[in-house]
Amino acid sequence: MGATKLEIVENQPLATLTTFGVGGSSRYFATVRSRGEALDAVEFARFRGLPLFVLGGGSNVLVSDEGFEGLTVLNRIRGIEDRTEGEFRLVSAGAGEDWQEFADRSVSAGLQGIECLAGIPGTVGASPVQNIGAYGQEVSESVDEVEALEIETGKSAVFGRDECSFGYRKSIFNSACAGKYLITRVTYRLKERGKPSVLYGELQNRLEGSGEATLGQVRDGVLAIRGAKGLLVRPGHDCFRCAGSFFKNPAVAARQVKEMEQQVREAGAVGRWAWPLDSGEMKVSAACLIQSAGFCRGYRRGNAGLSPRHTLVIVAYEGAVAHEVISLAQEVQEKVLEKFGILLRPEVRLLGFPPSCLAPERQSQFPLAR
């Protein structure tokens, strides 16, 4: 171990550190507040041959009831610095900074680029991992640089925006290099006095009549929409115990979208449910597929259910265990697969589950609980 006095705790319960509020303990656990402590944590895991999991705000993780047999590193590296470069402000934030506070601060400072991402729970360090996105904006549009430690070697690494391989809910950090880096700092390129982004229909409707909306009005509009869906994890707001969207919106061939159109409309879909992607495929609304496969908002099985306000959100009610959440996710996945031949992939990171638990060949390991 290095020069810091890193405290390692054994058998730390993780449920209260996640927004689902379910799941077991981590065999080892450390909170890191500096790059030096992060390096020590990486070394601790390396010398013992332990898998290492980086936890931020726990808002995109489902921990299994059996917990995690490795080292969980709670990232609380703070500190924000900025400098001006032409019409941009380069704002560099410690990975453990709270994302909502960071987005609010940027809007208040008149910086454009992440106003539609206000109200997303979690930390700065997780923002590039799944390329957080909402209401027509993605963080990849503003990321300038990501600083990290390579977990296997403890070496520092810096990724420019183009090296992050950003895509829809995707980056190098959750695909080719998943679990390989501990992100310590992220720098965003935000525009001074930039015009806010109002591309999303629901947001446009809400802001109608506000003339040329200000950054603050856009942020407030986004927060109001989130609040109404029970998706605002903030004091004074009721929020379901969940991790936001459980599944990603799948990309499918345009031909397949045409074939599905009638079934989806017959199931009651109104409005747009598929959007063209640069790849030539179409991004399809997973919520719409779930509804068309026979589920409704508020569907409940035991202590887990689909949110009464959004079919794509799985909720853990009072008394829920992780197994109930995963069983419901499997049921949804199975029915959509049966009806459309499309395998919904989880957006949520599963910790301590067998890799096959949300894949079609999983049945033998996780029989559907009826």
Ligand X SMILES: Cc1cc2nc3c(=O)[nH]c(=O)nc-3n(C[C@H](O)[C@H](O)[C@H](O)COP(=O)(O)OP(=O)(O)OC[C@H]3O[C@@H](n4cnc5c(N)ncnc54)[C@H](O)[C@@H]3O)c2cc1C
Summarize as ranges the residues that interact with ligand X (CB under 6 A). 19, 53-61, 75, 95, 120-123, 125-127, 129-130, 132-134, 181-183, 231, 233, 239, 242-244, 349
- Catalytic entry in 142, 219, 347, 349: 347
CB of 42 or CB of 190, closer to ligand X? 42
CB of 130 or CB of 340, closer to ligand X? 130
Active-site residue flag, 66: no
Active-site residue flag, 35: no
Q: How far is the CB of 127 from ligand X (least distance, A)?
A: 5
User: Do β-strands 68-75 and 52-55 pair in parallel, antiparallel, or remain unpaired?
Assistant: parallel
Q: State the sign of the Cα–Cα–Cα–Cα dihedral 136, 336, 323, 176.
A: negative
Active-site residue flag, 169: yes
Residue spans of alpha helices (H) in the chain: 35-48, 99-108, 201-207, 215-228, 254-266, 286-292, 322-340
Q: How far is the CB of 61 from ligand X (least distance, A)?
A: 4
Distance from C-alpha of 150 to C-alpha of 166, rounded to nearest angstrom: 19
- Catalytic entry in 26, 171, 245, 327: 245
Q: How far is the CB of 26 from ligand X (least distance, A)?
A: 12
Q: Is-contact 136 117, C-beta < 8 A?
A: no
Q: How far is the CB of 124 from ligand X (least distance, A)?
A: 8
Q: Which two tokens stand for residue 53?
A: 């999991």
Q: Which two tokens stand for residue 276?
A: 């063209």
CB of 28 or CB of 53, closer to ligand X? 53
CB of 257 or CB of 306, closer to ligand X? 306
CB of 97 or CB of 331, closer to ligand X? 97
Distance from C-alpha of 291 to C-alpha of 260, rounded to nearest angstrom: 13
Distance from C-alpha of 214 to C-alpha of 194, rounded to nearest angstrom: 10
- Catalytic entry in 35, 76, 89, 169: 169
Q: How far is the CB of 95 from ligand X (least distance, A)?
A: 4
| Angle CA 108–110–114, to nearest 5 | 85
List the catalytic residues. 169, 245, 347
